[in-house]
Structure 1
Amino acid sequence: MTDSPSPAMSNSSGWRNDERARAAAIAEYGLEGLRDDAALKRITDFAAALCDAPIALVSIVEEHRQTFLSRTGVEATETPRETSFCAHAMVLDDLLEVPDATRDPRFADNALVTGPLGIRFYAGVPLVRDDGLPLGALCVIDTAPRAGLSDLQRQGLRVLAADVLARLSDNRSAAQSRAALDDSEGRFRVLADTMPQMVWSTRPDGFHDYYNARWYEFTGMPVGSTDGAEWNGMFHPDDQDRAWAVWQESLATGAPYQIEYRLRRADGQYRWTLGRALPMYDESGTIVRWFGTCTDIHEQKEASEQREIVAHELSHRIKNIFAVISGLINLSARSNPGFGPIASDLRERVTALGRAHDFVRPHSAQSRPSASQNSLHGLLSELFLPYQPETSPRIFVQGADFEIDDRSATPLALLFHELATNAMKYGALSSDAGVVEVATRRDGEHAVLEWQERDGPAVTVPTKTGFGSQLIELSVVRQLGGTIDQRWAPDGLRVAITIPNPALRRN
């Protein structure tokens, strides 16, 4: 798709060159009254489902901003015009597709690409009035690059864009609007019957009254035989209660419906299927329809299970490697008695790494830790077990919890192992009354972890930097990209560690 202007725009260049006149023309539509319009919301919901995209928008591009009359998948109601993809789309004579915005010189430095939204894929159909007035675009957006839309999806977006223009028209009577909606419904049914996915819809109470041709082709059931609640009988017996419960929860709350289940194919085989549905609302905010799809994911599900088995086996072998390394250290210490103290420290560090790995590694249902495997507090609890008396804990962790992953678990384990070991040898934990308090809190885009020792022996400032201190510095600064402030106060060591949130867990 090129960035050349449409014939309509070429014949009406005044609209582009006179923003005041264009703004006045746009104002005639009374767009404020169309914000979050139910009919437009149904269109963006359907556009997102049709294109399997997380975001769909009806965007009106004005002089200094673009306004979202309807939005699915985002909270923002407007953005500056200079960041607008739709400003590019609306001057074309057909759909604009951007497979990967980071590779497109028009958008690579766009704040919507480089910022939190992280746009990668964009497809937009221009909304242009008969006299050439460019209004904006109907678009779908994804945060992952894509090769492009299918021919059917492009056709569907064009049909839906025509419906948007019909809804925006200021010279249509209520009767004409209803006729346009009926016509849209008819086109929807034609479009749905040509889709490769199974498509269905229900009344507000959940009564299934429509399935497309693909559903009946896949299941081999007679037309109408799965209406009402009979659809649940098509699922594997072990999945029926679960699917029914999830569907009832969506009906009760209006929350999007999503579930994986095994659906019986016409040949009797049960195939893993992803079911999704969104509610559609009228002007008063009442649900008037549910629109859903069923997608065969059987091959992907089996491949995922195979990858999980491999991950479990690999993780188990890595755990065994830690045990072998500890054993080799013990053997070396026995053969070289002078190596004993160093070997003991090294073995404890390896053991701490093993604990961290065992906490975040893939587990079976039986071996999974009681704490969430992405929990910082859970990891600390595992690491501090060797230092905690059974009857009276001496290390206390409190404050905001943070999500972590396997990448950050290793430096965190080394960091807190060194702090705890030093506390046992020289600090608060070296006396019976001493305790350690670990407080975690959020500070904007950073996590702040504070280590406070108290009620221990008098603190003396170390005169030289040992390997353990260097290891702490390496873990925090080089591996986690954070900062560390250590203060040897008379009442106990205080350590403040600041770590950027992205360093704790990958996006």
Structure 2
Amino acid sequence: MMDFSLPAISGTPGWQIDERARAAAIAEHDLEALRDDAALSRITDFAAALCGTPIASVSIVEECHQTFLSRTGLDVRDTPREISFCTHAIQGTDIMVVPDATQDPRFADNPLVTGEPGIRFYAGIPLVREDGLPLGSLCVIDTAPRAGLSDLQRQGLRVLAADVMVRLSDRRTAARSRAALERSEERFRTLADTMPQMVWSTRADGFHDYYNARWYEFTGMPAGSTDGEGWNGMFHPDDQDRAWAAWRHSLETGAPYQIEYRLRRADGAYRWTLGRALPIYNDHGAVVRWFGTCTDIHEQKEASEQREIIAHELSHRIKNIFAVISGLIAFSARANPGFAGIASDLRDRVTALGRAHDFVRPHSAQSRPAVSQSSLHGLLRELFLPYQPTTAPRILVGGEDFEIDDRSATPIALLFHELATNAIKYGALAVDGGEIELTTRRDGARVVMLWRERGGPPVTAPAKSGFGSQLIELSAVRQLGGTVTHDWTNDGLTVEIGIPNPALSRA
């Protein structure tokens, strides 16, 4: 027999395990008969819901592998013991928590971390017999790192682990098993009733057959009155059709259910609520139940709407500031005719900034641009509209599109406004038939934008850089951290601009 005894985990009380005694204890249980036991399935379903994880399991750690007696969100029936997290969990006396397996030297190279199912967070409590021998563990698993468990979740896992041991130990006696099941169901309901959220469950066909006490407390409805399809009558009339459509879609496809709706409170007031539900599958991939929650988000919803109103108002005022500045420049030019040329260039630059701001600012449904407000190509086409004839475009934008944000929109607008203005004065747009092709592509860690002018007059490099060139340098290099190279040829100007990916968008 191979010796899989492990030392106690650092910082966790534990002991050396007598593997021979454990093997004898495990042999006392008919594991095959216990596989996918209905009571154990309910326990893992609830453990996953209680802890908000996609995966939960009851496993027995045997000599060479661990066997899953019950599993939620997991397809495999067993795994080799040498890669089992539960092998470590049974060394302790309480819940073992791994916040981020990729940062834990015990598990960073584990195939269950580097491959499927991509374990990041793990919490497992040993399943210990009365004689002190650990058989396996009840665990919950997430594919994203987490800080840990709440006190309620820890308490719940301890209660559920005790119920697992009752199920394993008392199965031999039918009467005791029925009593244990009743106690388990009672504990299940007690735990659900202590949760701050409204908890509900349905059959596979979507028939609602369970609500926790919080639901009836919030709605003021008599117990059982919202079973079946009665739940939809609790929603605001304007939200009922939408909620039905979303629920039918989830029932037909198995997709997670998530929707925001207004739920009627006991006093008649409607409160914004977030509804969520996940399906529970059997081994054949069929949905056997749905488990869901309702969370009151009324205050958060109102705060979000208020912030959006303020953002719209602030953005509208900023847009007006651009118009005021343009007006002041025009007024100053009329009062000082010698300033007219400079004023015209300055006003065009302010207008370009205003167009960039108007593109990425918060919009209402009526004012939102037709293209995505985070689209580089969308911003460029919007910026080039004043330079395009009505018959056919002379500035063609192509290549791969990229995401931008409000931080990068301003220097991009100034940069390409200067190139387009120079093309009108000296380059391809100064004559009929000239055109410009702007292509964008990814080159490793940066985005390359290539500006090619064709069909214009011959161009030569200027003897010294003017204000426009300095503005291009300021926008591309200093503000975006990129590079700019010019190629002056008889065919026209070619400018290559390289911008680091993170400079375009915070995302």
Q: Determine if contact 1:486/1:493 at 8 Å carries over to the other structure.
A: yes
The superposition leaves residues 210-264 of structure 1 with CA deviations (integer Å, 9 ceiling, x where unpaired) of 1111111111112221122221111100011111111111112211111100001
Q: Call closer, same or farther: CA 1:402–1:293 in 2, change over 3 Å.
A: same
Q: Which residue of 1 aligns with 2:471?
A: 471
Q: Which residue of 2 aligns with 1:321?
A: 321
Q: Call closer, same or farther: CA 1:251–1:14 in 2, change over 3 Å.
A: closer
TM-fit CA distance, 1:451? 2.3
The superposition leaves residues 139-193 of structure 1 with CA deviations (integer Å, 9 ceiling, x where unpaired) of 4576687xx64422222344566789999x9xx99x9xx9999986664333212
Q: Which residue of 1 aligns with 2:140?
A: 138
Q: Determine if contact 2:279/2:290 at 8 Å carries over to the other structure.
A: yes
Q: Call closer, same or farther: CA 1:281–1:346 in 2, change over 3 Å.
A: same
Q: Distance in 2 between matches of 1:184 and 1:126?
A: 17
Question: 2:12 aligned to 5, 11, 18, which one?
Answer: 5
Q: Call closer, same or farther: CA 1:136–1:204 in 2, change over 3 Å.
A: closer
TM-fit CA distance, 1:487? 2.8
Q: Determine if contact 2:90/2:134 at 8 Å carries over to the other structure.
A: no
The superposition leaves residues 288-344 of structure 1 with CA deviations (integer Å, 9 ceiling, x where unpaired) of 111111000111111111111111111111111111222222233333333332222
Q: Which residue of 1 aligns with 2:299?
A: 299
Which stretch of structure 1 is more off in the superposition, 234-243 or 126-135? 126-135
Q: Secondary structure at the match of 2:201?
A: strand
Q: Determine if contact 1:12/1:133 at 8 Å carries over to the other structure.
A: no
Q: Which residue of 1 aligns with 2:256?
A: 256
The superposition leaves residues 263-308 of structure 1 with CA deviations (integer Å, 9 ceiling, x where unpaired) of 0111111100000111111111111111111000111111111111
Q: Which residue of 1 aligns with 2:430?
A: 430
Which stretch of structure 1 is more off in the superposition, 453-462 or 296-305? 453-462
The superposition leaves residues 330-372 of structure 1 with CA deviations (integer Å, 9 ceiling, x where unpaired) of 2333333333322222221111111111111112222222222
Q: Which residue of 2 aligns with 1:367?
A: 367
Q: Secondary structure at the match of 1:389?
A: coil
Does 2:207 correspond to 1:207? yes
Q: Call closer, same or farther: CA 1:191–1:424 in 2, change over 3 Å.
A: same
The superposition leaves residues 401-458 of structure 1 with CA deviations (integer Å, 9 ceiling, x where unpaired) of 2222212211221222222222222222222212222223344554333322222222
Q: Distance in 1 between matches of 2:322 and 2:459?
A: 35
Q: Determine if contact 2:281/2:289 at 8 Å carries over to the other structure.
A: yes
TM-fit CA distance, 1:85? 10
Return the letter of the residue paired with 1:10. Answer: W
Q: Distance in 1 between matches of 2:91 and 2:492?
A: 67
Q: Which residue of 2 aligns with 1:65?
A: none
Does 2:273 correspond to 1:266? no
The TM-score, its normalising length taken from structure 2, stands at 0.75
Q: Which residue of 1 aligns with 2:246?
A: 246
Q: Call closer, same or farther: CA 1:196–1:320 in 2, change over 3 Å.
A: same
Q: Distance in 1 between matches of 2:18 and 2:467?
A: 71
TM-fit CA distance, 1:122? 6.0
Query: Which residues in structure 2 correspond to 1:210-221 (within 5 Å)?
Result: 210-221=210-221
Q: Determine if contact 2:15/2:92 at 8 Å carries over to the other structure.
A: no
Return the letter of the residue paired with 1:356. Answer: A
Q: Distance in 2 between matches of 1:271 and 1:459?
A: 67
Q: Which residue of 2 aligns with 1:18?
A: none
Q: Determine if contact 1:59/1:138 at 8 Å carries over to the other structure.
A: no
Query: Which residues in structure 2 correspond to 1:106-255 (within 5 Å)?
Result: 124-127=123-126, 131=133, 138-140=140-142, 149-159=149-159, 187-255=187-255
Q: Determine if contact 2:404/2:505 at 8 Å carries over to the other structure.
A: yes
Q: Determine if contact 1:436/1:451 at 8 Å carries over to the other structure.
A: yes
TM-fit CA distance, 1:473? 2.7
Return the letter of the residue paired with 2:331. Answer: L
Q: Which residue of 2 aligns with 1:341?
A: 341
Q: Which residue of 2 aligns with 1:19?
A: none
The superposition leaves residues 8-45 of structure 1 with CA deviations (integer Å, 9 ceiling, x where unpaired) of x2344999xxxxxx9xx9xxxx9xxx9xx999998787
Q: Call closer, same or farther: CA 1:56–1:285 in 2, change over 3 Å.
A: closer
Q: Distance in 1 between matches of 2:430 and 2:265?
A: 67
Q: Determine if contact 1:38/1:280 at 8 Å carries over to the other structure.
A: no
Q: Call closer, same or farther: CA 1:265–1:483 in 2, change over 3 Å.
A: same
TM-fit CA distance, 1:50? 3.0
TM-fit CA distance, 1:127? 4.7
Q: Distance in 1 between matches of 2:39 and 2:413?
A: 54
Q: Distance in 2 between matches of 1:166 and 1:375?
A: 59
Which stretch of structure 1 is more off in the superposition, 149-158 or 215-224? 149-158
Does 2:286 correspond to 1:286? yes
Q: Distance in 2 between matches of 1:399 and 1:44?
A: 50
Return the letter of the residue paired with 2:317. Answer: R
Q: Call closer, same or farther: CA 1:391–1:156 in 2, change over 3 Å.
A: farther
Q: Call closer, same or farther: CA 1:48–1:319 in 2, change over 3 Å.
A: farther
> Aligned Cα RMSD in Å?
4.7
Q: Call closer, same or farther: CA 1:314–1:252 in 2, change over 3 Å.
A: same
Q: Determine if contact 1:4/1:92 at 8 Å carries over to the other structure.
A: no
Q: Distance in 1 between matches of 2:42 and 2:341?
A: 70
Q: Distance in 1 between matches of 2:329 and 2:385?
A: 22
Q: Distance in 2 between matches of 1:192 and 1:426?
A: 74
Q: Which residue of 1 aligns with 2:65?
A: none
Q: Call closer, same or farther: CA 1:181–1:428 in 2, change over 3 Å.
A: farther
- Structure 2: tracts of 5 or more residues without a match: 1-8, 62-67
Percent identical pairs in the alignment equals: 68
Q: Secondary structure at the match of 2:15?
A: helix
Q: Determine if contact 1:42/1:281 at 8 Å carries over to the other structure.
A: no
Q: Determine if contact 2:48/2:72 at 8 Å carries over to the other structure.
A: no
TM-fit CA distance, 1:475? 2.3
Q: Distance in 1 between matches of 2:197 and 2:490?
A: 69
Q: Determine if contact 1:200/1:212 at 8 Å carries over to the other structure.
A: yes
Q: Distance in 2 between matches of 1:206 and 1:350?
A: 58
Q: Determine if contact 1:163/1:184 at 8 Å carries over to the other structure.
A: yes
Q: Call closer, same or farther: CA 1:249–1:447 in 2, change over 3 Å.
A: farther
Q: Distance in 1 between matches of 2:502 and 2:343?
A: 34
Q: Which residue of 2 aligns with 1:378?
A: 378
Return the letter of the residue paired with 1:412. Answer: I
Return the letter of the residue paired with 2:151. Answer: D
Query: Which residues in structure 2 correspond to 1:95-114 (within 5 Å)?
Result: 95=95
Q: Distance in 2 between matches of 1:384 and 1:276?
A: 45
Q: Call closer, same or farther: CA 1:219–1:328 in 2, change over 3 Å.
A: same
Q: Determine if contact 1:375/1:401 at 8 Å carries over to the other structure.
A: yes
Q: Secondary structure at the match of 1:497?
A: strand
